[in-house]
Amino acid sequence: MWNITKHWFWYDWMFFFVRSVSLLSISIGTLVNQLPLSVPSWFIIFTAILTISIPFLIQQFSKKWYLFSEIVLTGSFCMYLTSYEPQLSWQFVIFAFVIGFYSDRSNYMWAALPTIFIIPGFNAWQINEPIEVIIFNYMFNHGAVFALGYAFQVLALNHKQSRIIQEQKKVLEQHINQIEELTLKEERNRLSHELHDTIGHTLTSLIVGMESLKTSFPSNQSERIDTLVELARNGLDNIRQHLHHLSVTPMSQSLTDSLQQLIEEFTKATGVTVNFRTFGNEVSITKQISFCLYRCLQESLTNAVRHGQASTIQVQLFYDNQQLRLQIEDNGIGMEQVRYGFGLSGMKERLDECTGSLAVHSRSNEGTVIICTLPVKVEAVHSRIRLLLVDDQSIITESLQRILEQQPDLKVIGTADNGQQALERCALDQPDLVLMDVRMPEMDGIEALREMKQRWPQMKVVLLTTFEDVSQAVKSIELGAEGYMLKSIHPRDLIEAIKLIHSGGTWIDQNITVQVFEEMKRQREQLGNQNYSPENNPYGITKRELEILQHLSNGLRYKSIAAKLFLSEGTIRNYCSTLYSKLGVSNREDAIEKARTEGLGLH
């Protein structure tokens, strides 16, 4: 009963009440006046109830058949009672108004014929009224009432549409305001990254450059250099403060708090009841997933009210060790067949980008259930990359430390002046990655690298040098170094390289990459090592690069590989660029063909 009437307006309830009261009052009045009926009194009451109920039930499925049932049942009942009590002939006027109200352009012509002419004319004929009385009193009055009902229906329809428009306007205004707010925050976040990657890195490079050149200037210019360095540092501090204010993301709260706030704002703006529950223990997740679920909930709430006409919405968030599940269930009108319009398509695309899935279940008049499922990618809040800086020039280590510690996911745990000190610090602190100069007193970087790889094979080591040296780079790679780069590398590239190497990649200065791999190939050909084996890797391919090569051979694109490995698309492109250089090819097709020809472990 509630599912049928929950979308009624006040006039629907008014007509239902008028019909019911009229039929029951006619029936009871007939029994009270003790008319000489040919049927028992209980049959009259039972017939009246059927006359009320059957059109009401049919009305929920078909307006055309509702009018037919109303005319046949109500008209027959009134004509039967009029045959015993002539004064009841006017009672059908009420139902003529109801029938006129529920008629529309497609059926008012055939509905008007029995309502205005046949039933009133038959009632008047039963009580022997003159023809002019039948025409002018009965038919004209019933016709006028039928027209009034039809006109009232037009007014009610306008009112109904106006109310729906107002409700949807509230929903859209709330939706637009949230989109504007999120767009503004996204733009502020983008600007903060742009400032960080351009002005911030430029000032840092100036500071490092002036510090390294200070010894080349006359002593009387040293104070001026210090002043310029101090100005650059003050500017960098100001930029850092601006970044702190700009980089406010929409997911600064926990996921639960963010969704709760969204629901409260939505309820306040639309008046729709939204119940929110969480299950399981909340875990820290990436901002990408939080933002994805936030947008999915926002779109689902808007669709539930705008298209589904829901009055109550249930939102449930399930935390699990393996996945997150957001379920939105409404009591709206539902739909016979799920259609992926702009809203659902946008949600599906967002979830696909996060390797999630979207499920939609709906039936007509039974509401809609939307389920968003995402794998848990725990935000690495405490997994900062721990770095050890090794160089005999303190200016270099101090400058590098200043650059790297600006990154929230990088941490410099110490410095060392030579290879021997670096080994001692490695034994004590176990850094994730070592940035080390090649030429140093006591023990140089090559010897330190050899020792590190023997003692700590999993430790990442990157060698830094002032000048390009191909043979030195080849030897470093052969000893297991994950990177070889110049000290003049741009800070932005340095940070990207550190993150790439930490995730399993390799970084070689692009100016000597080709020469390095040509030299390695030449040495390999001299040794006659043409086959790949885990013990003897002639191309220097890492485990992660081999994994990406396998995905390439399976036909996956960069974006799909990035989603599978939980890396950015740019990182995958860097991996592939290094991989192609190692294999001496220029594209994925040649890389796959060469890997299969030379047996590089593809299956």
Band (88; pLDDT cuts 50, 70, 90): low
Q: What is the pLDDT of residues 381-415, one digit of tens each?
A: 446 899 999 998 888 888 888 888 888 889 999 99
d(CA 97, CA 15) in angstroms, rounded, equals: 9
Band (205; pLDDT cuts 50, 70, 90): low
pLDDT of 387 reads 95
- DSSP letter for 384, please: P
The average confidence (pLDDT) of the chain is 77
pLDDT of 461 reads 94
Nearest residue to 551 via CA among 534, 563, 537: 563
pLDDT of 530 reads 44
d(CA 471, CA 465) in angstroms, rounded, equals: 13
State the virtual CA torsion across 347, 348, 349, 351 in degrees, nearest 10: 90
For CA atoms 292, 295, 300, 301, the dihedral sign is positive
For CA atoms 435, 436, 437, 441, the dihedral sign is positive
State the virtual CA torsion across 18, 19, 23, 29 in degrees, nearest 10: 10
Q: Does position 601 have pLDDT exceeding 70, yes or no?
A: no
Q: What is the pLDDT of residues 534-565, one digit of tens each?
A: 444 566 677 778 888 888 888 888 878 877 77
Q: What is the pLDDT of residues 482-500, one digit of tens each?
A: 888 888 788 888 888 898 8
Q: Which two tokens stand for residue 173?
A: 């205004």
Band (187; pLDDT cuts 50, 70, 90): low
Q: Does position 245 have pLDDT exceeding 80, yes or no?
A: no
d(CA 372, CA 348) in angstroms, rounded, equals: 9
Q: What is the pLDDT of residues 265-282, one digit of tens each?
A: 888 877 789 999 998 888
**Cβ–Cβ under 8 Å, residues 482 and 501:** yes
| pLDDT (average), residues 452-461 | 88
Q: Does position 6 have pLDDT exceeding 70, yes or no?
A: no
382-418 as b/e: b if 16+ CB within 10 A = eeebbbbbbbbeeebbbbbbbbbebeeebebebbbbb
Nearest residue to 107 via CA among 58, 156, 65, 51: 65
